[in-house]
Structure 1
Amino acid sequence: MFPSQVTEFFKSQKTPFYYYDLDVLNTTLDEIKKHGLSKGYHVHFALKANNQLKILEIIREAGLGADCVSGGEVQRAIDAGFSADEIAFAGVGKSDEEIELGLNHNIFCFNCESPQELEVLNELAGKQGKTAKIALRLNPNVEADTHKYITTGLNENKFGINASDLDAVLEQLPELEHLKLIGIHFHIGSQIQKFTPFEELCKKANALNDHIEEQGFELSVINVGGGFGINYEHPNDNSVPDFERFFGLFDKHIRLKDHQQLHFELGRSVVGQCGSLITKVLYTKYGQTKNFAIVDAGMTELIRPALYQAAHRIDVLTSTKPEEKYDVVGPICESSDTFRKDISIPKVERGDLVAIRSAGAYGEVMRSAYNLREANPSIYSDEI
């Protein structure tokens, strides 16, 4: 929860706003360094999870690289001080302008997702007289056992190259003289809480690694992506994911060759627990079968519940009254603008402050101006 002085500070601020606990972020980064970077693994932070400059600068200083999925994210990584040779650029629909931006900065690697993308990248690199380093994003067809909208490694997903098409792509590559294949890339999904999918990924990655090198290619990068989940139900007791077990699994099951290095692209597990959305109760409404707590944050500030049916923990910061059941809803003119239904929380009144927890990832980055909503500045723990 939040210390009393933090809650008192919140009372003087205009809601809703995002609050970032930098102690949680730094503790998380320490665990990544201890169990991942110390093994020589490379971790690229996924900017799609959080692109706040202050957050990115802390992550960069901890020794992580950047994982980008748009030209805007590539530029933001550069602006945050990430070295270009630490930036991986993924994405199924890179525009010519985005590719040219990556080429202009001589980024570490383009993670390529289709034969036609390879042709376009080769053409654009040729126009600049450059050779682009690439990794093939392959679909290992591993079931991530997560929400269907954030499963990305199956054959029917729009992402990546299916194994059945791999040999044709390998035959195509020698003709693309402005590309250099340096690795293979995987990403099977997001918010994965079981370890079995990652074990299965290792098996598939090992087999594909062997197959590609048997065709005469030398891979220096094995990029297993990210997707490691967080505990949304108990953020206080589980503020840092079990990175020892996560990295230990790959240490045990992935088979690297002497000339290869293991890369990860972690997002949610790095920043998810350090962020909270602070909002204020505008009205309470008591019906025959439902009670509503109407807050001033909505799906414009945090769309995950509406988009993914995500359940974030909700803490009332200014009430110790007996609990009542509420639907906690926002002010947006959409029935889906609901954070939680039938949740038991201390009885709230107009003006009470509420924290929607575990919102550091895929929260502020997905904010919209729908209903012409204005955004309030974020607040960081070192400012209080």
Structure 2
Amino acid sequence: MKGIFPIDKFKQLQTPFYYYNTELLRETLALVRQEADKYNYHIHYAVKANANHKILTIIRENGLGADCVSGGEIKACLEAGFPAGKIVYAGVGKADWEINLGLDNNIFCFNVESAAELEVINELAGIKGKIAPIALRINPEVDAHTHAYITTGLKENKFGINLSQMNGIIDRFDTLKNVKLIGLHFHIGSQITDLTSFQALCSRVNEIQESMYRRQIIIPNLNFGGGLGIDYHHPNRQPIPDFKEYFAIFHKHVKLRPIQQVHFEPGRSIVGQCGSLITKVLYVKEGSYKKFAILDAGFTELIRPAFYQAYHKIENITSDGEIEKYDVVGPICESSDCFGKEIDLNKVHRGDLIALRSAGAYGEIMASRYNCRELPKAYYSDTL
């Protein structure tokens, strides 16, 4: 495990920092393209997972589009060279300036999440004399069996349009002259490892399509979002998710009409495993019944364990000592600043380097300056 990191170079750098294995990222992207191209699927990288400029540039160079959820993400993608015609824009709270940004740059599609939003986009597009391309984000009522905070496809979630409202909203397009319905969008959640959830999504979409076909409506684009999970427990064993099986499920189970195109929005599954948070041990604190490894990184650098109670594999990459158990914690003045309890690590000493794996997604992008901390730097395997 330690062999995957240039430890001698790490020792010369100020911790904490993010380290990206760009070779693994490119290998992942090559596989995504290989498997998606079998079926002529369109891939839009979900920028919210990681908007690091170099990471975005590598993804763009590999031909992917972008899935954005804010005006800032649209700007970041345009700056990284993404064609506006490959950008889709989702989000329940699009501000007017963000909608106008998308309209001004002629992005591919707005993934609309409410009737109220549809009216606003129609109004703003009308002011500019434009026709806004729209996909309706539909809640398919499919349980992704994932963490409650990252489940998105149920009627009680804030995202999307409930199935019971769909036909009524589609009928509005007859009176809204500055929007055009070009797609249906679905996203049932994140970090999904039970692929049968995607089969259930396919079945529900087939039902929706049949209902619309009876109304003589065929919508040209179907967007199935993202959600494919990664192996946080064994990042070395499976550094690239099973995109072959993932895309094959949709090819096998979705009933397409001849004119229809299929889109996906993977994020975590592309960048999650290529990134690690590298941090240094400040102190080893021995209490009456446990040991603490106190790091110079905290939830300001990787919030997922505190926010989602999420697991990240933790490794001592500079020690070959006997395995001991530690509570691995950060320096933030909050009790929730804990990366893991009773973690097996090679014997920890002050100054050891610790790697928190699978931090390429929702690590750097969610970093904060709480406690007036500086944001960490990022380094890359092809330039270090």
TM-score (norm 1): 0.98
**CA offset at residue 21 of structure 1?**
0.2
What pairs up with 1:227-246 in 2 under 5 angstroms? 227-246=227-246
Which secondary structure does the structure 2 equivalent of 1:136 belong to?
Answer: strand
Amino acid at match of 2:52: Q
Looking at structure 1, the residues matched to 335 and 169 of structure 2 have their Cα atoms a distance apart, in angstroms, of 46
CA 1:5–1:143: 2 relative to 1, 3 Å: closer
CA distance in 1, matches of 2:211, 2:75: 35
Larger deviation: 307-316 or 28-37? 28-37
By how many angstroms is 1:205 displaced? 1.0
SS of the residue corresponding to residue 152 of structure 1 reads: coil
Partner of 1:260: 260
What is the match of residue 116 of structure 1?
116
3-state secondary structure, aligned to 1:26: helix
Shift of 1:167: 1.6
Q: Specify the alignment match of 1:3 in structure 2.
A: 3
1:205 counterpart = 2:201: no
SS of the counterpart of 1:36? helix
Q: Deviations over 1:104-162 (max 9, x none)?
A: 00000000000000000000000000000000000001000000000000010000000
Distance between the aligned counterparts of 1:144 and 1:187, measured in 2? 10
Secondary structure of the 2:377 match is: coil
* 3-state SS of 2:382 partner: helix
Q: Provide the C-alpha distance between the structure 1 equivalents of 2:170 and 2:212, rounded to a whole number of angstroms.
A: 8
Contact 1:281–1:296 (CA under 8 A) maintained in structure 2: yes
Aligned length: 384
Q: TM-score, normalised by structure 2?
A: 0.98
Q: Give the structure 2 partner of residue 173 of structure 1.
A: 173
In structure 2, the residue matched to 1:337 is 337
Matching residue's letter, 2:285? K
Measure, in 1, the Cα distance between the counterparts of 2:358 and 2:369.
Answer: 22
Q: What SS does the corresponding residue of 1:174 show, helix, strand or coil?
A: coil
Match of 2:14 in 1: 14
Tell me if structure 1 keeps the 8 A contact 2:132–2:179: yes
Where does residue 23 of structure 2 map in the other structure?
A: 23
> Helix, strand or coil for the counterpart of 1:382?
coil
**Per-residue deviation at 1:2?**
4.2
Deviation, structure 1 residue 358: 0.2
Match of residue 312 from structure 1: 312
**Do structure 1's residue 195 and structure 2's residue 195 form an aligned pair?**
yes
Q: Could you list the per-position Cα deviations for residues 258-280 of structure 1 after superposition, in whole angstroms to 9, with x for gaps in the alignment?
A: 00011000000000000000000
Counterpart code for 1:296: D
Q: Gaps (5+ residues) in structure 1? A: none
For residues 70-125 of structure 1, the C-alpha deviation after alignment (integer angstroms, 9 at most, x for no partner) is: 00001111111010110000000000010000000000000000000000000000
Other structure's SS at 2:341 match: strand
State whether residues 185 and 225 of structure 1, in contact with CA within 8 Å, keep that contact through their aligned partners in structure 2.
yes
Matching residue's letter, 2:340: R
Q: Distance in 2 between matches of 1:2 and 1:221?
A: 45
Cα deviation, residue 376, structure 1 = 2.6
- Equivalent positions of 1:1-384 (< 5 A) are 1-3=1-3, 6-384=6-384
SS in 2 for 1:277: strand
SS of 1:100 mapped into structure 2: helix
Q: Which runs of 5+ in 2 are unaligned?
A: none
CA distance in 2, matches of 1:200, 1:307: 28
Shift of 1:50: 0.5
CA distance in structure 2 between the partners assigned to 1:22 and 1:297 by the alignment: 22
Asked whether the 8 Å contact 1:37–1:43 carries over to 2, the reply is no
